[in-house]
């Protein structure tokens, strides 16, 4: 099978969208798929305003069309609503080619947090972008329901996962966390205003607060909260060891659609504390026992983050690991394949890929 995969978010960016797409790409290639990546590294770019790590492709439409014409894909998936995504969308519409999209980022909410503009002003653009898609993939039932209410669809589930061979409680302790006062409260992700890290760093709870990740708000937050430890970006075994060393994972974001880091934390035996909002609710569950019939506490969600942290510290680490097993990347890739839409001539082939 030949898949054209378009995304305005790609390496060297470090975020959940890039991890989800790169993991899916790697697994499809191992299954024998041929994949044409349409990503910013192939084009002239400029930095996205207020988010310079994202590079926006300039004047990419002609080259996108040339590459798609030459590749002749069996299936086309557009992951983001940036310049590359719009260019691929135009090509598909002009040639009457079916395509799928996915909704990874609550872009209207991000714009609202960063600019003060109402999020409702941005949703019409989202409806226009996703409207011609044969299917729109969403990571959680709550997000799927919200998209349907906002006139975006038809929506199909595409759950995401974690590398269960990498993230494990058995990892050696991270040396930077050795000897820190317990409990060690860990947060992992982009250090930016939309991640609401101030709520975590300002919470009145005992222990040591550790932030892994980088971003435009790091210097300002480090200056305001000198008692917290900012380790910068960690990857691979270094990140896995940080998870395994901590006592609790704290996810203060209110705007993420899912939060892959929550699954990585659970796979590392780390209970999760956060707010009762879509994303955490779909993973941790309203009762803190997950969403797959588990009996042990894997975390806690509360509108008072300090309350959630104190409750989550009583979590069952073995229950966390059991819950994470439901988020295996190969299962997620299987669902991605089932969601793709192809021309009739290749539909039978896709069913057996």
Residue range 179-227, pLDDT digits in tens: 999 999 999 999 999 899 999 999 999 999 999 999 999 999 999 999 9
What pairs with residue 137 in β-bridges?
Answer: 102, 156
Q: pLDDT-derived band of residue 344, with 50, 70 and 90 as boundaries? A: low
348 pLDDT band, cuts 50/70/90, is very low
CATH code of the region 2-161+329-351? 3.40.50.2000
Beta bridge partners of 249: 186, 272
Q: What is the pLDDT of residue 353?
A: 41
Instruction: Read off the pLDDT of residues 108-123 as tens digits, 9 standing for 90 and up.
Output: 776 777 777 888 888 9
Name the pairing type of β-strands 75-78 and 208-212: unpaired
User: E-assigned strands of 213-343?
Assistant: 229-232, 248-251, 272-274, 299-301
**What token pair was written down for 34?**
């041929």
The upper half-sphere exposure of residue 235, i.e. CA atoms within 13 Å in the direction of its Cβ, equals: 9
319 versus 353: the higher-pLDDT residue is 319
What percentage of the chain carries pLDDT values higher than 90? 81
Read off the pLDDT band of 347 (50, 70, 90): very low
Q: Please write the tens of the pLDDT for every residue from 279-332.
A: 999 999 999 999 999 999 999 999 999 999 999 999 999 999 999 999 999 999
Q: What is the DSSP string of 196-240?
A: THHHHHT---SSEEEEE---TTHHHHHHH-TTSEEEE---HHHHH
- The answer on pLDDT for 349 being more than 50 is no
Neighbour count for residue 3 (Cβ, 10 Å): 25
The average confidence (pLDDT) of the chain is 92
Please determine, for residue 346, whether its predicted confidence score (pLDDT) is greater than 60: no
| pTM for the structure as a whole | 0.87
- Least confident piece of the model among 127-136, 159-168, 338-347: 338-347
Report the Cα–Cα distance between both ends of the chain, in Å, rounded.
Answer: 7
- Other C-beta atoms lying within 10 Å of the C-beta of residue 238: 15
Q: CA 21: distance to chain centroid?
A: 9
Distance CA 333, CA 310 (A): 36
Mean pLDDT, rounded, for 135-156: 93
Question: What are 44-76's pLDDT values in tens digits?
Answer: 999 877 677 778 899 999 999 999 999 999 999
Predicted confidence at residue 352, as pLDDT, reads: 36
Angstrom CA distances, 144 to 67, 120, 238, 242, 267, stand at 32, 17, 34, 32, 25
What does DSSP say about strands 100-102 and 75-78: parallel, antiparallel, or unpaired? parallel
**pLDDT value of residue 257:** 84
Report, as an integer, the average pLDDT of 338-351.
67
Domain boundaries in the chain?
Answer: 2-161+329-351, 175-327
Answer yes or no: same fold for 2-161+329-351 and 175-327.
yes
CATH architecture of residue range(s) 175-327: 3-Layer(aba) Sandwich (3.40)
The pLDDT of residue 302: 98
pLDDT of residue 345: 52
Nearest Cα neighbor of 84 from 51, 44, 30 is: 44
């Amino acid at each position: 099978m030949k898949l054209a995969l378009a995304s305005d978010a790609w390496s060297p960016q470090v975020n959940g969208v890039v991890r989800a797409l790169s993991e899916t790409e790697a697994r499809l290639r191992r299954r024998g798929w041929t994949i044409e990546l349409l990503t910013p590294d192939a084009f002239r770019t400029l930095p996205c305003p207020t988010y310079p790590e994202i590079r926006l492709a300039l004047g990419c439409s002609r080259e996108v069309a040339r590459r798609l014409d030459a590749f002749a894909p069996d299936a086309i998936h557009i992951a983001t609503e940036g310049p590359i995504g719009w260019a691929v969308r135009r090509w598909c519409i002009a040639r009457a080619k079916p395509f799928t999209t996915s909704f990874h980022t609550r872009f209207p909410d991000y714009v609202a947090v960063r600019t003060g503009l109402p999020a409702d002003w941005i949703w019409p653009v989202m409806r226009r972008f996703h409207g011609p898609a044969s299917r729109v993939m969403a990571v959680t039932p709550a997000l799927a329901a919200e998209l349907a209410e906002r006139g975006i669809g038809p929506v199909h589930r595409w759950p995401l996962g974690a590398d269960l061979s990498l993230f494990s409680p058995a990892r050696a302790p991270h040396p930077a966390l050795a000897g820190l006062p317990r409990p060690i409260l860990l947060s992992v992700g982009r250090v930016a205003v939309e991640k609401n890290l101030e709520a975590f760093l300002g919470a009145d709870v005992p222990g040591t607060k550790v932030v892994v990740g980088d971003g435009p708000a790091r210097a300002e937050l480090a200056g305001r909260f000198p008692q917290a430890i900012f380790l910068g970006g960690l990857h691979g075994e270094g990140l896995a060891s940080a998870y395994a060393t901590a006592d609790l994972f704290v996810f203060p974001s209110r705007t993420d659609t899912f939060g892959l880091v929550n699954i990585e934390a659970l796979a590392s035996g780390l209970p999760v504390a956060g707010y009762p909002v879509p994303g955490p609710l779909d993973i941790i569950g309203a009762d803190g026992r997950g969403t797959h019939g588990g009996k042990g506490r894997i975390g806690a969600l509360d509108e008072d983050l300090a309350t959630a942290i104190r409750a989550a510290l009583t979590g069952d680490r073995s229950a966390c690991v059991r819950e994470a097993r439901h988020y295996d990347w190969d299962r997620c890739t299987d669902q991605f394949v089932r969601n793709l839409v192809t021309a009739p001539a290749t539909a039978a082939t896709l069913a057996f890929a």
